[in-house]
Amino acid sequence: MGEKADVWQGTLALMVLKTLETMGAQHGYGIARRIEQVSDNQLSLNYGTLYPALLKLEQEGAIASEWGVSENNRKAKFYKLTRAGRKQLEREAKGWEQTKAIVARFLSPAEEA
């Protein structure tokens, strides 16, 4: 297997929000593992990047947190999506779909005149 890629700038919040929408409340380690799993282990998630992103999303009101106990009986902070987070996820997903369509136009073979 080749080297893992870093998470693309501007996509981490979208991936975190989508993970919480899909999986429900998760702790940081669970979010990181899920993102790596969904990417087929092609993305490398740096915890120095994840936790500031979680803090920023929480300060923006997109996610909320509460302390709980993880699967291995350790105290962990669990994050969940808020109503504002669902709206943000919808906006960001639409934005990425639009960006994907624009880039696809540049990558597709040029039409002959």
pLDDT at 94: 95
With respect to residue 41, please indicate whether it lies within any of the assigned structural domains.
Answer: yes
**CB burial of residue 29 (10 Å; 0-12, 13-18, 19+):** middle
- Which of the two residues, 60 and 10, has the higher pLDDT score? 60
**Confidence at 111, pLDDT banded by 50, 70, 90:** low
Give 5's pLDDT tier (boundaries 50, 70, 90). Answer: low
Please say whether the beta carbons of 63 and 26 come within 8 A.
Answer: no
Give the range of the structural domain holding residue 100, as residue numbers without chain letter: 5-107
The answer as to whether 112 is a domain residue is no
Q: What is the pLDDT of residue 107?
A: 93
Residue 9 in tokens: 């700038």
User: Residue 9 has what pLDDT?
Assistant: 65
> What CATH number does residue 52 fall under?
1.10.10.10
Does residue 113 sit within a domain? no
pLDDT at residue 110 tops 90: no
Residue 77 reports pLDDT greater than 70: yes
Q: What percent of the residues of the chain are helix, what percent strand, and what percent coil, each to the nearest 5?
A: 55, 20, 25
- The answer as to whether 62 is a domain residue is yes
Which contiguous run of DSSP H or E holds residue 63?
strand 63-69
